[in-house]
Structure 1
Amino acid sequence: MGFGAMNLAPVYGRVEESEAADTLLAALDAGFTFVDTADIYGRGSSEDLIGRMLEKRRDEFVLATKFGGNQDSHGILIPGMGRPDYVRRALDASLSRLRADHVDLYYLHRLDPTTPIEETAGVLGELVEAGKIGGYGLSEVSPSTLRRAHAVHPVTALQTEYSPFQRAPEEELIPACAELGVTFVAYSPLGRGLLGGTVRTAADLEEGDWRRGNPRFQGGNLERNVSLADRVATLAAEQGVTTAQLVLAWVIDRGALPIPGTRKAANARANAAAGDLTLDASVFRRLEDIVPRDAAAGAQGNESYLANLDK
């Protein structure tokens, strides 16, 4: 089980630093051994918090961060973030905020369409050899891009959105990872909160919450998706677990490493417990019957979000 640190920054609304710090420490105390952040989360604030709070506990967890996700005012990726000089500068900046001399895993957040992936993979491989990163990963890339990068230097992990509401990776991406020996990391494994019980209506989304612009959280789409989540909640209750725990156990059963995020220490503790659940395979089949492939209403993101994904 990994801890997704995007929620420690004001992406889903306002964040109190003391609460974020408590949640981060609770996650480690509960047994999380993987912390996943990025330089764009709160313009570095997530990395900075991790650096300040966990500097003395650095040997207790695998540390991952990302680069290459900055966008212009129209939501379009800034060109050139896959070039070697940018990668090196971004890593040095992240290491400074993280108060570390290396990171265990360094992801390309989004594919830079202006730079061949072979060039980016090449510099990342050099950083591995220099000991500044333990391995490198890719996020939201196609199987073909994964294979091209892997041919230059082995990819350690690939991260993409994956949950009962987002099962497209099952077609080609997860099999490609299995073939190449690449760890598949599932971000937003709880459907960005829809499967965690935190969102019932649009009023539950704070001002500034990124999800207000996501089609799955709008109008009839939201109503449809909450209805599906309610049915999953009923199944979870029958098993004596929370909805989030059931879904996370399903993600793990599918062979993925989930990285749920939260701003609440209690949720972090509950999420950690999902890693120890033993549920019968029939329970997971019932979950898939409730939420079959493509059952979620609305696209994964708005037009600008989708335009930045490598498909």
Structure 2
Amino acid sequence: MTTASAIHPRKLGRTGPAVFPIALGCMGMSGMYGPADEPESLATIHAAIDAGVTILDTGDFYGMGHNEMLLSQALRFFREKVLISVKFGAQRGPDGAWLGYDARPAAVKTALAYSLKRLGVDHIDIYRPARLDPKVPIEDTIGSIAEMIQAGYVRHIGLSEVGPETIRRAAAVHPIVDLQIEYSLISRSPESRIFPALKELGIAVTAYGVLSRGLLSGSSNSGPGDIRNRFPRFAAENQAQNQKLVARLAEIATRRDITQSQLAIAWALAKEPSIIPVIGARTRTQLNESLAALEVSLTSEEVAAIEAAVPADAIAGTRYDTHQMQILDSEK
């Protein structure tokens, strides 16, 4: 397995720290893709830390707090080795229903207080609203997080799934270290307007969905509790078209003697040095496979050939359902 000494760190934006080039996303460890094995989740987090991974990404609404409490167990003796990235603001009911977003200043501070308690830490390294709250100016949200930085409870501010105008307005209030956004071989819309703004402002990308929620790795829905049941790309009517694209990726990977997952991650790493893929590994096997992508080197010609073989505009279905696509600031 690739070790920390064998890789080159990446900078988390102009004002952030140097980090391991792959982050661990912990959402899937709290039931979002079906049941998870808690001992294996803890072992995977520890294996990631041993390999040098520095960013652990979570959300206070993952499993209604379960994910943060899981991290609290995992980091009991490892807190100083990692940066904890927390998304907040998504509102959920006791039945798991999604109820909207709340990023008012008071809600920011309340959510932070509960996250600190669940995580068992005295500060959060990167704190970010999960989505833009259309009822609250982004300046108010970022300003309240900035107050928490002054108070010592937060170290850096990130954003998630917002567009260029919101990014600029947020950065005018306080330096932003990264934007978390879905980005993959088949989800490339940020390249046109969002990435140029980030480059200008010195903001990194923590790219989630690099494997398109398992689509590019050949993963399938695990059952009724799997969040992918809500995503059009996994709908039965789109599967045949999308599997053709996945097969092309697999063919290229086979010629390189690597897996299609490793090729998809290597593609993202090769695009820009400011991109840090957030890999949602739930097992040590998945983690090891993903980390091996760091050993895959792609030339600009190879990147172009991969994109030609698997064109983003050939994918069937959007990355979220119609309602979510309409309210996403990053899609406007």
Q: Same fold (TM over 0.5)?
A: yes
Instruction: Supply the distance in 1 between the matched residues of 2:128 and 2:231 (Cα, whole angstroms).
Output: 24
Counterpart position of 1:286 = 305
Gaps of 5+ in 1: none
Letter of the 2:151 counterpart? A
The residue correspondences of 1:4-23 to structure 2 (distance < 5 A) are: 4-23=25-44
Instruction: Supply the distance in 2 between the matched residues of 1:304 and 1:56 (Cα, whole angstroms).
Output: 42
Instruction: Supply the distance in 2 between the matched residues of 1:30 and 1:308 (Cα, whole angstroms).
Output: 38
The residue correspondences of 1:254-293 to structure 2 (distance < 5 A) are: 254-255=271-272, 256-293=275-312
- 3-state SS of 2:121 partner: coil
- Asked if 1:128 is matched to 2:149, the reply is yes
Counterpart position of 1:248 = 265
The correspondence for 2:58, drawn from 37, 41, 46, is: 37
Offset of 1:269 from its aligned partner? 1.3
| Aligned CA distance change for structure 1 residues 97 and 75 (closer, same or farther; 3 Å) | closer
Instruction: Supply the distance in 1 between the matched residues of 2:311 and 2:213 (Cα, whole angstroms).
Output: 18
- Asked if 1:77 is matched to 2:87, the reply is no
Letter of the 1:139 counterpart? S
Instruction: Supply the distance in 1 between the matched residues of 2:49 and 2:131 (Cα, whole angstroms).
Output: 28
Instruction: Supply the distance in 2 between the matched residues of 1:43 and 1:235 (Cα, whole angstroms).
Output: 40
Instruction: Supply the distance in 1 between the matched residues of 2:261 and 2:168 (Cα, whole angstroms).
Output: 33
Letter of the 1:271 counterpart? S
The correspondence for 1:231, drawn from 248, 251, 261, is: 248
Higher share in strand:
2
The correspondence for 2:68, drawn from 47, 51, 54, is: 47
Letter of the 1:240 counterpart? D
Counterpart position of 1:298 = 317
Q: 100-109 vs 299-308, which deviates more?
A: 299-308
Instruction: Supply the distance in 1 between the matched residues of 2:97 and 2:53 (Cα, whole angstroms).
Output: 36
Counterpart position of 2:14 = none
The correspondence for 1:182, drawn from 203, 213, 231, is: 203
Counterpart position of 1:115 = 136
Instruction: Supply the distance in 1 between the matched residues of 2:72 and 2:326 (Cα, whole angstroms).
Output: 32
Instruction: Supply the distance in 1 between the matched residues of 2:256 and 2:33 (Cα, whole angstroms).
Output: 30
Instruction: Supply the distance in 2 between the matched residues of 1:234 and 1:147 (Cα, whole angstroms).
Output: 41
Instruction: Supply the distance in 1 between the matched residues of 2:97 and 2:256 (Cα, whole angstroms).
Output: 45
Letter of the 1:302 counterpart? D
The correspondence for 1:147, drawn from 149, 157, 168, is: 168
Offset of 1:71 from its aligned partner? 4.6
Gaps of 5+ in 2: 1-21
Contact 1:30/1:268 (<8 A) preserved: no
- Asked if 1:89 is matched to 2:110, the reply is yes
Percent of paired sites with the same residue: 39
Contact 1:30/1:269 (<8 A) preserved: no
Q: TM-score, normalised by structure 2?
A: 0.88
Counterpart position of 1:198 = 219
Offset of 1:76 from its aligned partner? 4.6
Contact 1:110/1:308 (<8 A) preserved: no
Instruction: Supply the distance in 1 between the matched residues of 2:76 and 2:107 (Cα, whole angstroms).
Output: 26
The runs of at least 4 consecutive aligned structure 1 residues that moved more than 3 Å come to: 71-76
Instruction: Supply the distance in 2 between the matched residues of 1:187 and 1:109 (Cα, whole angstroms).
Output: 13
Instruction: Supply the distance in 2 between the matched residues of 1:134 and 1:280 (Cα, whole angstroms).
Output: 36
Instruction: Supply the distance in 1 between the matched residues of 2:239 and 2:322 (Cα, whole angstroms).
Output: 18
Offset of 1:96 from its aligned partner? 1.0
Instruction: Supply the distance in 2 between the matched residues of 1:170 and 1:23 (Cα, whole angstroms).
Output: 32
Instruction: Supply the distance in 2 between the matched residues of 1:4 and 1:306 (Cα, whole angstroms).
Output: 22
- 3-state SS of 1:259 partner: strand
Letter of the 1:84 counterpart? P
Contact 1:75/1:304 (<8 A) preserved: no
Offset of 1:74 from its aligned partner? 6.9
Offset of 1:275 from its aligned partner? 2.2
- Asked if 1:99 is matched to 2:99, the reply is no
| Residues 204-242 of structure 1 deviation map (CA, whole Å, 9 limit, x = unaligned) | 432210111211001231221122111101101111211
Offset of 1:65 from its aligned partner? 0.7
- 3-state SS of 2:210 partner: coil
Instruction: Supply the distance in 1 between the matched residues of 2:162 and 2:183 (Cα, whole angstroms).
Output: 13
Cα RMSD over matched residues? 1.5
| Residues 64-98 of structure 1 deviation map (CA, whole Å, 9 limit, x = unaligned) | 111012256874514xx211111011011111111
